[in-house]
Chains A and B, each alone.
Chain A
Amino acid sequence: MSHDTLPRPVRTDSAPAAERPPSRRRHWSRRANPLAGAGTLVWLAVVIIPIYAMISASLTHQDEALGHNALKPPSHPTLDNYSTVLNNGFGHLLWNTVLAAAGVVLIVLVLCVPLSYVAVRTRSVWSGAAFRLFLLGVAIPAQAVVVPLYLMIAKLNLYDSLLAIVLPTAAFAMPVSVLILTGTLRDISEEMYEAMALDGASTTRMLFQLVIPMSKGGISTVVIYSALQAWNGFLFPLIFTQSDGPRVLTLGLFDYVSEFGVNIPAILASVVLSGVPIFIVYLVARRSLVGGLMGVGGK
């Protein structure tokens, strides 16, 4: 008997159709709310204006930039700033960042999925203690441990390598990942485990054939969350790397400031470029990305 032969909860929608509100919309939001409408327009401006100013300024000639108001569209739009950035090792930075993110996601998944399975399915003193350790870890700011980590990374001969970024970033992505995964895993019903146990399945088989398939939502949230951690990471790259070899995007952006000096349009072009890859991911995977993150508080 596989788990999909188990009885599913049946929707008890006994109210006759006539009694339901005619609209699919919520009862309390049926009338227009002018105040809320105005508020969202204000926030729209707050979101859009900096983005517009950034894109417009990144298309401005450097000569035009001094004394220029960032809100004014460029009189002679140019892509020069973008080619400047692209010719300054942007591809290398992006590649390093993708590698680092992939490494972080891989480590987090391989370590956290089995760990969360144990945390949810066993009740020993040890697994409780381990789970509590991760809960405490949620609030450890990376800043607090960067000095001792610097010492450890140096002693491990990892200084100035991508691994020096990947390993601590993965460790600091673990607490929230465990929280998300245990949240999903708790929703797998006891009956499903029992059904698989009746089939004589080992716990390893349950992990691969029940736990992982049933917690796909949680797993994709964790993938997104840990990839974002690597994507955003600044402090670890700043302190644990030095040369061009393992330099990642965030650090590269920071370096562009000293490299380009007062060339603000070039700096903004690099900011725009750094956002493009993740924006593409957002366009493609918006639903799962947003849905997964929504669960953090919806639970």
Chain B
Amino acid sequence: MSVTQVKGGPRNDAGRPRSARRNRAGRPSAALAVPGVLFFAFFAIAPMLLAFYLSFTKWNGLGDPQPTGLANWRKLLGDERLTQSLTVTVALTVVSWAFQTVISLLLGVWAAGRQRNRAVLSAIFFVPFLLSSTAISLLFYALLDPNFGIIHRDTLGTTSGAFLAIVFVGGWQFIPFHTLIYQGGARQIPEVLYQAAAIDGAGRLRQFFSITLPQLRNTATTSGVLMVVGSLTYFETVLILTQGGPGTDTAILPYLMYEAGFKSYDFGYASAVASFLVLAATALSLLMVKLSGFGAMRSTREGM
């Protein structure tokens, strides 16, 4: 099934005048999209809905889930660990965002220059991103070991030490990626702007704050949203580095969910925590669509 349009033969699109002008030729059959949508719906959307359903049941992982009404939600909302976990999750997200943004912005703008030494250093800076989260967590687990590591001190045994270690390890892994994003953004700033500013006598600092930063606004939004969403997935780092400890001080929401489900076999309760995560994520992605303009179906090259 294919729709072939000939140039100059306007398609009868009376109901949608907006689309009549564009997309005359090469309008593919929607059937091409069906397999992808179905696959995604089955493995990503359906489980989300199923998580909500499971949050109203009792299930130990074997047999079938038994409905229990609001029991899990009552337990969850009265659970002190939820409050603590939410606080840690938000704190980790905010601190990670600030740490990663400052460094990757500076490195990215610096790397956007084209000298040879920048290319070499940028290539080295990228290396941490090549290791998996698991590998990086294990590496720092070893390097922070009080008997073996770099610092002969029980860093992971203290609340602030464990928290900062997670922030640092997350940054170590993902700053290379965000540096690249900022580098791409900084390269697209028209050079004329800098030339004009230089003629007006603006110094380097002034140029940075008056041209570079404002021009990188959209890049910062994209990168920032990816950072925030990404920090919800610091699960491996927490599981390997701190196991949520000391005590429960670094038990972020995904870890709380994992413990409830796959350690205590209380999958109903774990699903209630997961539903919480879905709500947070949906709110975040709506914000992202709004802030980033990803939803606008425009060529990014228009007007260039």
A contacts, CB < 8 Å to B: 24-29, 31, 33, 36, 39-40, 43-44, 46-51, 53-54, 57, 65-71, 107, 110-112, 114-115, 117-124, 126-127, 130-152, 167-168, 170-172, 174-175, 178-179, 182-183, 186-187, 190, 193-194, 196-198, 200-204, 206-207, 210, 231-232, 234-235, 239, 249-251, 253-254, 257, 264, 267-268, 270-271, 274-275, 278-279, 282, 286, 290, 293-299
Q: Which residues of B contact A71 (CB under 8 A)?
A: 150
The one of B36, B131, B138, B278 in contact with A115, judged by C-beta atoms closer than 8 angstroms, is B36
List which B16-62 residues lie within 8 A (CB) of chain A: 16, 18-19, 22-30, 32-33, 35-37, 39-48, 50-51, 53-54, 59, 61
The 28 sampled A-B contact pairs (Cβ below 8 Å) are A27-B191, A44-B121, A47-B124, A47-B125, A47-B172, A48-B124, A54-B142, A111-B40, A112-B36, A114-B36, A133-B37, A137-B45, A139-B229, A140-B48, A144-B48, A147-B274, A152-B46, A171-B43, A174-B40, A186-B300, A187-B301, A203-B29, A207-B28, A232-B132, A239-B262, A249-B132, A271-B138, A282-B130
Which 5 residue pairs spanning A and B have beta carbons closest together? A298-B184, A297-B181, A139-B285, A171-B43, A148-B50
> Beyond A143-B258, A193-B26, is A43–B222 a contact (Cβ under 8 Å)?
no
A299 to B188, CA, bound (A): 8
List which B49-108 residues lie within 8 A (CB) of chain A: 50-51, 53-54, 59, 61, 65, 103, 106-107
Q: Nearest chain-A residue to B208 (Cβ)?
A: A28
Q: Which residues of B contact A134 (CB under 8 A)?
A: 40
The answer to the question of B209 belonging to the interface, with a C-beta cut-off of 8 Å to chain A, is: no
A268 to B285, CA, bound (A): 37
Interface residues on B, range: 35 or more
A83 to chain B, nearest CB (A): 19
The answer to whether A133 and B40 touch across the interface, beta carbons within 8 angstroms, is yes
The one of B53, B235, B289 in contact with A135, judged by C-beta atoms closer than 8 angstroms, is B289
The answer to whether B32 and A115 touch across the interface, beta carbons within 8 angstroms, is yes
The answer to whether A250 and B134 touch across the interface, beta carbons within 8 angstroms, is yes
Q: Which residues of A contact B132 (CB under 8 A)?
A: 231-232, 234, 249-250, 253, 274
The answer to whether A198 and B30 touch across the interface, beta carbons within 8 angstroms, is no
The answer to whether B54 and A282 touch across the interface, beta carbons within 8 angstroms, is no
B138 to chain A, nearest CB (A): 5
Q: Which residues of B contact A131 (CB under 8 A)?
A: 297
A186 to B299, CA, bound (A): 5
Q: Nearest chain-A residue to B45 (Cβ)?
A: A133
A72 to chain B, nearest CB (A): 10
A125 to chain B, nearest CB (A): 9
The answer to whether A147 and B254 touch across the interface, beta carbons within 8 angstroms, is no
